[in-house]
Structure 1
Amino acid sequence: MAGKLNFSLVSPEREVFAGLVDQVDAPGVEGDFGVLPEHAPFMTALREGPVTVFTGTARRVFTVKGGFADVNAEGLTILAEEASEVAAA
């Protein structure tokens, strides 16, 4: 795997998370999906559920309530209707 994934999780109130990560798993309306560095571009709507962020052996979990995910050459951006961290491991 080459490099890191630039990931940003944004709610209407604030940027909830921003940083370089190894992988992000998210709840798409058509099923859960994972994004790694250099993933092909796509955009999808999100349903309510967990967004799991992996960096090395660390894992952080956020909950989102709707929104959109956009994967492009710069990385992954999730624009969530609501988002908050629920667990850190």
Structure 2
Amino acid sequence: MLHFELVTPERLVRSEEVHMVVVPGTDGDFGVLEGHAPFMSTIRDGALSVYRAPNAQPETVAISGGFAEVNARGLTVLAERVD
């Protein structure tokens, strides 16, 4: 499982173990699974898709601006705003 955190400047919105997250990157959407290579990207306004399990329907979260970082601990998305 992938450790996923969604953070705004004001608060930690969510911290959980998930199967996959698809992030709206500035250069296009990208998916992150457990074991992904270290990576950093700016993000555009759009929908973050969170898959809790393989073959599950995604939960979408509207986010605005910010950046995403993948490291050995998992994926952290720091969004300017979460709607």
TM-score band (shorter)? over 0.9
**1:41 alignment counterpart:** 38
> How many residue pairs were aligned?
81
Q: Secondary structure at the match of 2:35?
A: coil
**1:87 alignment counterpart:** none
Written as runs of structure 1 = structure 2, the 5 A alignment for 1:24-63 is: 24-56=21-53, 57-63=56-62
Written as runs of structure 1 = structure 2, the 5 A alignment for 1:8-23 is: 8-23=5-20
Q: Percent identity?
A: 48
Q: How does the TM-score come out when normalised to structure 2?
A: 0.92
Work out whether 1:67 is the aligned partner of 2:45.
no
Structure 2: distance between partners of 1:47 and 1:33: 12
How big is the alpha-carbon RMSD for the aligned residues of Structure 1 and Structure 2? 1.0
C-alpha distance after superposition, 1:34-53 (max 9, x if no partner): 00000010100000000010
Structure 1: distance between partners of 2:58 and 2:49: 7
Gaps of 5+ in 1: 85-89
Q: How does the TM-score come out when normalised to structure 1?
A: 0.86
After the TM superposition, which segments of 4 or more aligned residues of structure 1 sit over 4 Å from their partners?
Answer: none
Q: Secondary structure at the match of 1:13?
A: coil
